[in-house]
Structure formats: C-alpha cells, structure tokens
Amino acid sequence: MCGRYTLTDVEELISRFQAEPGSLELAPRYNVAPEQVQPVVVRDETNRLELMRWGLTPFWSKDQRSRMINAKVEGILTKASFRRPIRYHRCLVPATGFYEWKKEPSGKVPYYIRRKDGNLFAFAGIYDKWKDPPDNEFKTFAILTTAPNELLAQVHNRMPVILQPQQEIEWLTTEPSKVDELLKSLQPMPADQLELYPVSRMVNWVKNDSPRLIQKEA
C-alpha cells in the first residue's frame, strides 16, 4: 500500500507535468498523510494542477466517511467504488518519494523509497466527485497499488503504481473502452530505478514535516 508520501520539488511541478498552475500556492511536503489536500494532475485539453483530498469518496456515498487511500489494480474494474473513476476520472499524483514500514524485532521501521535520480514522478491515481446536500462539490483521490518489485518486497507486499514519464499522457487520455488494455500495461517500476533506506520514526507522527524525515538513519 501507500500511506505516506513526499512532494518536495513543488517549484518544478509546472514544467515537469506541462500543467496549467491555476492559483495554487504550494510548499514542500515531507510527510503527506491521508485526508490531507494535495495537488494532482488532471487533463481536459491540457494538463491542469488541481487540489484534491487524499482518500476517495465515491460519488454515490451518503457521506464523506468513505475514504479509500489506495485502490488495488487487481479487480479494480469490478469494485463499486472504483469502476467509474478508473474509466472516467484518472489523474497523476506527483511525488518525490514515499514511505513503507517493515516489521522488525524492534518494531515497525520506516523506509523511504525514491527514484535513484531523485526526479519527480507520478503515481497512477483515480478521483471522484462527491456532493453534499447543499450541492457543494468535493474531489478526492486514491493511489493505485500493485505487487511489489524485488526491492519493495523486502519491506512490504504491495507498492504504489509509479508511471514512467512516457506512460503519463496515456494514463490521462485513454478512452474508457480501452481501460482494460491500459491496466494490463501497468507494471511495478523496475527495482534498479529505485532506492530504499531506513529513516527516522519521526515520520510516524503526521505533525512532523521536515527534511529530517528523509535523511538516512545509520
């Protein structure tokens, strides 16, 4: 799964994803947690940055309590909460890294995972639009997960779907009728493109959000 991630290179978002910025004011984040609002990339005729809350609420939900942060690729087309978003509401979730926890004799140890080149990347995401009784619209998103590569398998039995740059436009623009083929093209990012190392347990507390969190522990 993916339960925390980072987005530290916010000044590069516009150029990296060729996106219209709108009026967003963003700060580097080192400990993004569920239910927080973060930028995602959506596309009409062009890419656009938009703020959404992490934790998907289906459009048919009676309230906002249905907050699914992850969506398994396997069976996603048959899940009531995901089958509409995966066809009509796909997005990119920009990130610079993410955390996973490994069970060890001393307790759960957090590990930080990022691209070896340190570049921005995108998780494959889906979103939905939920309206309250007064008709106010709220947009929420979830991150797709898949089986881990050999690197991530050391710490967890799932990993987020990280798109290669050449896959990103396809993810945003594929027609609903061709989503089955699109899903088949998703593969775990090769282990040799990522690095993984232990970090401070400070990341366990959402209030902690600083560069210290992604420093390697001895």
- Please name the residue that has the structure tokens 């970090």: 199
Comparing CA positions, the residue from 44, 49, 51 lying closest to residue 18 is 49
Q: Please identify which of the residues 12, 74, 100, 217 carries the catalytic annotation.
A: 100
Q: Is 2 a catalytic residue?
A: yes
Beta-ladder partners of 54: 141
Q: Is 91 a catalytic residue?
A: no
DSSP 129: E
Backbone region of residue 18 per phi and psi (left: phi > 0; alpha: psi in -120 to 50; beta: other values): left
Residue 173, CA atoms < 13 Å, CB-side half-sphere: 9
Q: Please identify which of the residues 2, 11, 35, 45 carries the catalytic annotation.
A: 2
Euclidean distance between CA atoms 140 and 37, whole angstroms: 9
Q: Which residues are catalytically annotated?
A: 2, 100
